Amino acid sequence: MRTIVSLDIGGTQLRAAVYKQDQREPIAQKKIKTRAGEPDTIGRLFQLIEDVLPPDGKVDAIGASCPGPVDPHTGIIMFTPNIKEWRDFPFTAKLMKHFGVPTYVDNDANLAGLAEWKFGAGRGHHHVLYLTVSTGVGGGVIINDRLLQGSHGLAAELGHTTVQVDGPLCGCGQRGHLESFSSGTGIERFVADQLTAGRVSVLHPEKKNSAHDISEAAKQGDELSIEAYQIAGKYLGIGVANFLHVFDPSIVIFGGGVSQSGPLLFDSFETSLKEHVIHPRYLEGLVIARAELGDNSGLLGARALAELKLDL
Amino acid sequence: MRTIVSLDIGGTQLRAAVYKQDQREPIAQKKIKTRAGEPDTIGRLFQLIEDVLPPDGKVDAIGASCPGPVDPHTGIIMFTPNIKEWRDFPFTAKLMKHFGVPTYVDNDANLAGLAEWKFGAGRGHHHVLYLTVSTGVGGGVIINDRLLQGSHGLAAELGHTTVQVDGPLCGCGQRGHLESFSSGTGIERFVADQLTAGRVSVLHPEKKNSAHDISEAAKQGDELSIEAYQIAGKYLGIGVANFLHVFDPSIVIFGGGVSQSGPLLFDSFETSLKEHVIHPRYLEGLVIARAELGDNSGLLGARALAELKLDL
**What are the tens digits of pLDDT across the range A191-218?**
999 999 999 999 998 889 999 999 999 9
The partner residue sitting opposite A248, judged by closest CB among B150, B235, B241, is: B150
Among B202, B205, B225, B203, which residue's Cα sits nearest to residue B215? Answer: B225
Which residues, other chains included, contact B79 with Cβ-Cβ below 8 Å and sequence gap of 6+? B68, B69, B86, B87, B88
SS (H, E, C) chain B: CCEEEEEEECCCEEEEEEEECCCCCCCEEEEEECCCCCCCHHHHHHHHHHHHCCCCCCCCEEEEEECCCEECCCCEECCCCCCCCCCCEEHHHHHHHHHCCCEEEEEHHHHHHHHHHHHCCCCCCCCEEEEEECCCEEEEEEECCEECCCCCCCCCCHHHCECECCCCECCCCCECEHHHHHCHHHHHHHHHHHHHCCCCCCCCCCCCCCHHHHHHHHHCCCHHHHHHHHHHHHHHHHHHHHHHHHHCCCEEEEECHHHHCCHHHHHHHHHHHHHHCCCHHHHCCCEEEECCCHHHHHHHHHHHHHHHHHHC
Nearest residue of A to residue B173, measured between CA atoms: A278
Which whole number is the average pLDDT over A183-194?
Answer: 97
Residue B204 pLDDT greater than 80, yes or no: yes
Q: Output the pLDDT for position B81.
A: 85
Q: How far is B156 from chain A (nearest CA, A)?
A: 4
Which whole number is the average pLDDT over B70-99?
Answer: 94
Average pLDDT, chain A: 96
Q: Output the pLDDT for position A82.
A: 87
Residue type, A243: F
Which domains occur in chain A, in start order?
3-113+295-311 (3.30.420.40), 125-291 (3.30.420.40)
Output the pTM of the full model.
0.96
* CB pairs < 8 Å spanning A and B: 122
Chain A CB contacts of B70 below 8 Å: none
pLDDT tens-place string over residues A1-10: 899 999 999 9
The partner residue sitting opposite A248, judged by closest CB among B146, B151, B245, is: B151
Q: Output the pLDDT for position A57.
A: 87
Specify whether the CB–CB gap between B217 and B93 falls below 8 A: no
Which residues, other chains included, contact B284 with Cβ-Cβ below 8 Å and sequence gap of 6+? A152
Cα dist from A36 to A77, A83, B189, whole Å: 16, 6, 55
A150:B238 CB<8 A: no
Chain B CB contacts of A284 below 8 Å: 152
B281:A247 CB<8 A: no
Residue B38 pLDDT greater than 90, yes or no: no
pLDDT tens-place string over residues A111-139: 999 999 999 999 999 999 999 999 999 99
